[in-house]
Amino acid sequence: MLINRKSMLTGVERTLDIPCTEEQINAWNQGQDLIQRIMPDLTADQREFIMTGCSPEEWDTLKEDEENDD
């Protein structure tokens, strides 16, 4: 399923093809359960993208920036 999200870190919009169903997305949006339980076959990166719109590269950059600030 094509999922479109805007990154909460950078505001960049991306679309990823994630192996989930519309029913799973709706269940998560309705707060029926934790995303890990609704979509257990997704990777942590795929779940993070659904929740925040952030890519793994964005999180890595954020971590590097924080480490450089220390």
Other beta carbons less than 10 A from residue 50's beta carbon:
20
Residue-averaged pLDDT of the chain: 92
pLDDT at position 7 is 95
Angle between helices 56-69 and 44-52 (to 10 degrees): 80
Match 């093809």 to its residue by tokens.
17
The token pair that represents 2 in the structure block: 């094509």
Question: Which candidate, 58, 51, 7, 27, places its Cα nearest to that of 43?
Answer: 51
For the stretch 18-27, pLDDT in tens is 999 999 999 9
Q: For residue 31, is pLDDT > 70?
A: yes
Instruction: Output the pLDDT for position 63.
Output: 72
